[in-house]
Structure 1
Amino acid sequence: MAFFKYEYFKLNSTNFPYAHLADKRTQHWLLVESYGDVVALVTLYLLLVRYLPKWMQRYCISHLYNSYRRKPFQMKPLMLLYNFLMALLNAHICKELLFNGIRSKYNFWCQPSRELYTKEELRIAAAVWWFYFSKLLEFADTIFFILRKKREQLTFLHVYHHGTMFPLWWIAIKWVPTGSTIIPSVTNSFIHVIMYSYYGLSALGPSVQKFLWWKKYLTALQLIQFVFGACWSAQAIIRGCDFPTWINVTTIVYMASLLFLFGQFYVKTYQTNKIKDK
Structure 2
Amino acid sequence: MANVLQGIQEIGSHAVDIYDYLLAGFDPRLKDYPLMQTPGPMSATLVCYLFFVLYLGPRIMANRKPFQLKEAMIVYNFTLVALSIFIVYEFLMSGWATTYTWRCDAVDTSDSPQALRMVRVAWLFWFSKIIELMDTIFFVLRKKHGQITFLHIFHHSFMPWTWWWGISFAPGGMGSFHAMVNSTVHIIMYFYYGLSAAGPRFQKFLWWKKYMTAIQLIQFVLVSLHATQYYFLDSCDYQYPIFCHLIWIYGTFFFVLFSNFWVQAYVKGKRLPKQGSTPCQNGAAVYTNGKHHENGITHGATNGSTHHENGSTHTGKMKKA
TM-score under structure 1 normalisation? 0.86
Which residue pairs with 1:98 in the alignment?
92
Q: Does the 8 Å contact 1:104/1:120 carry over to 2?
A: no
Structure 1 position 102, deviation (Å): 4.9
Q: Does the 8 Å contact 2:106/2:174 carry over to 1?
A: yes
Structure 1 position 173, deviation (Å): 1.5
Structure 1 position 277, deviation (Å): 5.7
Higher relative contact order (CA 8 A, sep 6+): 1
Find out whether 1:39 has 2:43 as its counterpart: yes
SS in 2 for 1:98: helix
Which residue pairs with 2:207 in the alignment?
213
Cα distance 1:102–1:247, how it changes in 2: closer, same or farther (>3 A)?
Answer: closer
SS in 1 for 2:29: coil
2:30 is aligned, of 21, 26, 43, to 26
**Further displaced range: 232-241 or 184-193:** 232-241
**Further displaced range: 18-27 or 171-180:** 18-27
Once residues 20 and 254 of structure 2 are traced to their aligned partners in structure 1, the CA distance between those partners, rounded to angstroms, is 28
For 1:190, the aligned partner's letter is: T
1:80 is aligned, of 70, 74, 83, to 74
Which residue pairs with 2:251 in the alignment?
255
Cα distance 1:213–1:103, how it changes in 2: closer, same or farther (>3 A)?
Answer: closer
2:54 is aligned, of 50, 58, 77, to 50
Write out per-residue CA displacement over residues 86-118 of structure 1, whole angstroms, 9 at most, x where no aligned residue: 010010000011122156511221111131111
Q: Does the 8 Å contact 1:237/1:248 carry over to 2?
A: no
For 1:241, the aligned partner's letter is: C
Which one has the bigger strand percentage? Answer: 2
Over the aligned positions, Cα root-mean-square deviation in angstroms equals: 2.2
Q: Does the 8 Å contact 1:111/1:179 carry over to 2?
A: yes
Q: Does the 8 Å contact 2:175/2:243 carry over to 1?
A: no
Once residues 252 and 194 of structure 2 are traced to their aligned partners in structure 1, the CA distance between those partners, rounded to angstroms, is 29
- Mark the structure with the bigger radius of gyration: 2
**Further displaced range: 226-235 or 78-87:** 226-235
Write out per-residue CA displacement over residues 54-107 of structure 1, whole angstroms, 9 at most, x where no aligned residue: 2211xxxxxxxxxxx200001011100000000100100000111221565112
Cα distance 1:93–1:269, how it changes in 2: closer, same or farther (>3 A)?
Answer: same
What are the within-5 Å matches in structure 2 for residues 137-156 of structure 1?
137-156=131-150
Structure 1 position 178, deviation (Å): 1.7
Identical residues among aligned pairs (%): 39
What are the within-5 Å matches in structure 2 for residues 82-231 of structure 1?
82-102=76-96, 104-231=98-225
Which residue pairs with 1:272 in the alignment?
268
Give the unaligned 5+ runs of structure 2. Answer: 1-15, 271-287, 291-321
Cα distance 1:45–1:102, how it changes in 2: closer, same or farther (>3 A)?
Answer: closer
TM-score under structure 2 normalisation? 0.75
Equivalenced residues, count: 255
**Further displaced range: 193-202 or 172-181:** 172-181
Once residues 118 and 219 of structure 2 are traced to their aligned partners in structure 1, the CA distance between those partners, rounded to angstroms, is 21
For 1:55, the aligned partner's letter is: I
